Structure formats: C-alpha cells, structure tokens
Structure 1
C-alpha cells in the first residue's frame, strides 16, 4: 500500500561477504524488514548475518546469480517499499531516506545515479564508465528513456511494482535468463516499458570494503547489451499489438 509513512524492506544479495556484512549490517537504519539472500556462501556469511542482525530474514538462493538472488528476496517482501542494497559496502545506507522520499513524493521507481550533482564513485573504472555511457545512451535511444546510469544497482521502488518486473520465478534449479548481473538492466527496462514514473536520485558509490567483485566487465556487458535489444524488440512487439487492438476497435465501432 502506498502511504506517506511506508514500511521499508531492504533486499541484500550475499555471496561470501562475511567480512563486509560485519561492517555493513550494523550501519543499516531501522526498517520494517531486512532480507539477506545467501547464494550458498562458502564462508560464514549466514552466521555473521544472524549474529549482527538477528531479526533479518535469511533466504537461500535457489539458483546462481544476482538476478536469482533478487527474485528470491522480492518474493519474501512484506514492506511497502523495496530498496536493493549490495553487501560489499558500496551502497551508502545514509542515502536510503533520499530514495524513500523520492518515492513518497510520487515516483514509482527511484533510480540511483552516480552521474548527477551529489553523486559519484570511488570504484568505477574509465572502461566501465565508458561502457555504461554507451549502454545508457543505447537504452535511451531504443526505449525512449532518460537514464544517466543504467548499470548502477542501488535502486528502490514501491513493492506493488514487483509484478511489472517479470523476473524469473525462484522455483527450479535450472539456470534462467535474468538470473545474472543483467538483472539490474532488466529491471530498469521493465519499469520503463510498464510506463511507471522513474526519478533519478544522486548516489555516491563507495569502494568495496573487502574482497573482489564477481562482476566481469566484458561478459556482463554483453549480457546487458542482450537485455537492451531483447527489451527493445519486446517493446516494439507490444506497441504493434496495442496499435492493432485500437485499429480493430475502431473498425468495430465504425461498422
């Protein structure tokens, strides 16, 4: 339910992030629900989450990949607003109120951006920045959007928008399209194609605290590119169906 005083759910995908969770979880603001989705970590991520935040919901992934982790988490949401938070310390918890305020003010989807006044990054490389700019521009051209930071995953949205995402069900163990890092672009595209109101929120990306990222610039960049073209085709197909339906209705009315 959309209310001026929404209940907030944080969804945190985790894969071998025990050391980072020890730092991140104690800094989270008080919220209605924290969902930690564990990708069968080989370290003691689950034990650390239970110790640092006993009230957190610990959800095991059914398959591999960030997309599957988010899908598993979204299915357990009980709050009014969902905030996607990375476990590596790159997402600043103090920015959560800005995302919530943007949604309460009328947006359906609060899109974090590192490339607006007040935003920035300690982590992004020149190669990733250039790739992000190309992918954002292509998406804006094909889907008629205005993203400035397509590939940034710190986002929030009203929970009633979850069906519009059309993410693969968590059921089953066979890999599904949308299970990987491409999920963030998939979410952005689906929100836009559903006609929901998107508002960008300046965000500063911090360096990962410990460990190395699972992101592969070229492999995951190609997966993002595939999402963009797939969703562009889907958009044109839906538009043609809508035009055909209107044309058919006009003929019926005019007969």
Structure 2
C-alpha cells in the first residue's frame, strides 16, 4: 500500500503497518484533511469517509496523524467506531512531542503543505482519550529515528540504532495499538463458545485418565483431543481406553502425530479441532486442568486475545521447576517483553488459549518467522504479536510432575530457544 508520491517518512510508516496486515485482512487508512476524515482510495487519492460503502467495517483501521490534527478527538473516534467491528485492530500514528519544534520549522522552510499537528499528544493523553471512548491502548511502539532518505545512514539509523533502549524514545513516530475495551464478545447466533482442548502427550501413560477426570465442563460443547507422539510406553493404548470409557459422555478424540516434536503435534491437532476456542494443556498436569475455565472466561470477556499461562507468580511446588530452568524463564521474560513491546512473564508455559479464527490467520503468517520451533511456544507468541493481538498472562499454580520424566533437554533446547529469539530480533526489531 506504499504510494510513490508519499514522503520518505510516510513510506516508513506504511511499511511498518504493512507488517501487521495479514492475508485476507480488510484495511482502511485514514488521515485528517481540513478537519475532515479522509480515507485512502487508490493511486494517492484521498476521499471523504462518507464515500465509503455504507455499513462497511474493517479488520485493520489506521489513523495517520489524525488524533494530533483534530479539534475534538473524541468526536473523531465516534466517527471511526461505525467502521469497526468488535475485533478490529486500530493503529494510531502520532508524532513524538520531542520533534515538535523541528517539524514546525522544517515544514515552514520546506514549503510543504502538510498540516502540522495542533495537539502534541503524550502517551498518557492518547491512552486516556481512547479510554473515554470505550477503547484501550494495549501496545505502544516507536519508530523512525531519521525521517530523511539518506542512503545507508537512514536504514542503519532506523533499523538498528532507533530500536535500541533509551535511544528509541527519540524516534519521530509513535504507534498506538488500540482495541475495544473488554466486554462480552459473542459469535453471531451463539450464546457461548465451543472449545477444543489439545493435549499432546509422549510417555504420559499414567496421566491420561486423570486428565479427563479433572477437566471441568465449561462453555458450550467441549472436545478433548489427545495426540500421541512416539511414546515408548502405553500412552496410546491409554488414550484409546479413556475414549471408550467416556463414550457418550465426553467427546474425546485420539490421534497419533505424523511428525515429531510438540509444536508439530499441536499443529496437527489444531487442524482437526472443531471448537471456536483452542486450548493447549500439557499432559504432565503441571498446570491444573481445573484452571482451564479461567482461560476461557478471560478470552470471551476480551481481557486479551491470546491468553498465556504464567507459572512465575504463585509459589511453586517443590521440584516443580529446577533452578536453572527458573533463571532461564526469567531471562526469556525480559527478552520477550522488550522484543514484543508488552510484558510477558512466562514465555514457556505450555497452556495457551486463543480463538480458532485467530490461529488460522496466524497459520497463514507462519512462513514469515519460519517453522522451526520444536515446542511451539515462540511460534504462537510471535504469530500473535504479528496479528496485533493483545497477549495477557494468566497466573497458574505450577505443580511438580507425579508421573514420568520431562521431555525437555535444559541446555540443548535452551540454546535453541535463545537462537530463535535472536532470529526474531531481525524479523521484528531490525526488519527492513
């Protein structure tokens, strides 16, 4: 959607927003023109929003420097609301207050006709005003340290230096990711969501029946999908046994994965899942099955779009997590919170929940990061970030394993995950 007639800075803004535009996603780009909202049509033409198709709503709505140019931001947001549906992602772009004097004089001496913002908004201002209109800012990023087209220097400053901590606060453009505030989100014609609970298992024979007995009923129809992966014990036989035992009482599906690794197992199970909500529950029962309704309620109440279990809040059972693993999880927490521009305390908790429609969109984007995460945690977190989903940690009590042994190699897999994080820096922070 980059227009050759736009300035270098405008092209940088559009390029960054393109990152969050998923295949099949409808998009609307808005600016202010003489105190009126204008929408991008094509070939650089901007039209009044009254010219848009009646009743049309969009998955992604971009407000480019519109808030700072409006005499009444609340009235502007009221105009935008009919163009949005319940899960629309709204990205508002505004100038950094630090650049106010530079922008004012540059436009005066360059003779450019673009409107200079009448309101220099702080992060707190934007957060407060959108909240008054029933919306929330859930992510805030800064981009473009050098808004001029200087070969080699420009890309270096914007891709590398401008993403460094502290220096990042000097960037010209602020991006505010906005969503409608939490409220009951129901699908058309439905009162509740159906749920698919995915349970990947390898050498977990002693836990299979216990899991089914402990999963509570919640929401609409419920589907439990066991997927067995190259076990050396009788895990598969136990899955078939509980399927037969609960026949007519619970909808239990048992399959064997065709590939290797937890990530592959989850992906194969997701493909056959019929529920509106997709949940992952590890078969070691270190996260209590009784906690699953909390994840369901958080998702349907729109506390977040991607609910991530967090084991690092409540006191753990003795031997639930080894010392080096705990340190590693805390390090990854800091690294990911910086990388994804929102606090994420526990990246490696196996319990994660999202809507199936969001997973299908995430799957289409998977090629961007690559499909080499053996566990699937990073794959889902990176994918949720790229979709512009709000990621929320949900604290859970972490229990010690009562059967079998962990399938994770602390040092080997820890090193692999660190390399994946470093790769993601290039794809997210330092991308062209």
Shared topology, TM-score over 0.5? Answer: yes
Q: Does residue 221 of the first structure (1) align with residue 414 of the second (2)?
A: yes
| Residue of structure 1 equivalent to 2:131 | none
Q: Secondary structure of 1:48's partner?
A: helix
- TM-score, normalised with respect to structure 1: 0.82
Partners of 1:207 and 1:77 in 2: CA distance: 29
- Answer yes or no: is the 8 Å Cα contact 1:120–1:204 preserved in 2: yes
Q: Does residue 135 of the first structure (1) align with residue 324 of the second (2)?
A: no
1:73-222, aligned counterparts within 5 Å? 73-106=269-302, 107-116=304-313, 119-122=314-317, 123-166=320-363, 177-178=372-373, 180-181=374-375, 183-222=376-415
Change (3 A) 1:40 1:126: closer
- How large is the Cα RMSD of the aligned pairs? 2.1
Gaps of 5+ in 1: 170-175, 241-255
Q: Secondary structure of 1:110's partner?
A: strand
Partners of 1:53 and 1:40 in 2: CA distance: 19
Which structure dedicates a bigger proportion of its chain to strand? Answer: 2
Q: Alignment length, in residue pairs?
A: 229
Q: Does residue 34 of the first structure (1) align with residue 224 of the second (2)?
A: yes
Pick one of 13, 17, 25 that aligns with 2:212. Answer: 25
- Answer yes or no: is the 8 Å Cα contact 1:91–1:206 preserved in 2: yes
| Residue of structure 1 equivalent to 2:63 | none
Change (3 A) 1:4 1:236: farther
Change (3 A) 1:28 1:130: same
Structure with greater contact order relative to length (CA < 8 Å, sep ≥ 6) = 1
Q: Secondary structure of 1:96's partner?
A: helix
Q: Secondary structure of 1:204's partner?
A: coil
Aligned-pair CA distance for 1:142: 2.4
Gaps of 5+ in 2: 1-185, 245-250
Q: Does residue 51 of the first structure (1) align with residue 238 of the second (2)?
A: no
Return the index of the structure with the highest Cα Rg. Answer: 2
| Residue of structure 2 equivalent to 1:230 | 423
| Residue of structure 1 equivalent to 2:200 | 13
Per-residue deviation, residues 190-232 of structure 1 (Å, max 9, x unmatched): 2123210112111111111211101111111112112212222
Comparing 50-59 with 4-13, greater Cα deviation is found at 50-59
Q: Secondary structure of 2:255's partner?
A: strand
Partners of 1:177 and 1:185 in 2: CA distance: 10
| Residue of structure 1 equivalent to 2:163 | none
- Answer yes or no: is the 8 Å Cα contact 1:143–1:232 preserved in 2: no
